[in-house]
Amino acid sequence: MKISLDDTLEFEFFELEDVKNAEQFAESIGGAVYSWKTNGYSNWLEKRLSVADVLGLAVLPKGLPDWIDLPDDIND
């Protein structure tokens, strides 16, 4: 599924159990797999596979930083 955040970052999103599909897709486009990490209201992408505090997996182009901040959840 394609995700677009604030029209600045667009990427393919995969559920954690679809790690093989994410890796294959990343290889097919010359990209890298990031873990979408979340803790409390904070969100970020981390360039590595992880299962702790992970919402899912994102595939992004190579050459991006190892850590990418994402918008935080809104606290109502």
* 76 falls within a domain: no
Domain assignment of residue 49, yes or no: yes
pLDDT tens for 12-61 read: 999 999 999 999 999 999 999 999 999 888 999 999 888 788 999 999 99
Structural domain contains residue 41:
yes
Residue 40: its pLDDT value, please?
A: 84
**Which CA distances in Å does 41 have to 28, 29, 57?**
33, 31, 18
Of 51, 57, 54, 45, the C-alpha closest to 14 is 57
Q: Which domain holds residue 34?
A: 2-70
pTM recorded for the entire structure: 0.86
- Our count of domains for the chain comes to 1
Please report whether residue 10 resides in a domain.
Answer: yes
> Is 13 a member of any domain?
yes
- The average pLDDT across 59-72 equals 91
Bigger pLDDT: 56 vs 9: 56
pLDDT surpassing 80 at residue 7: no
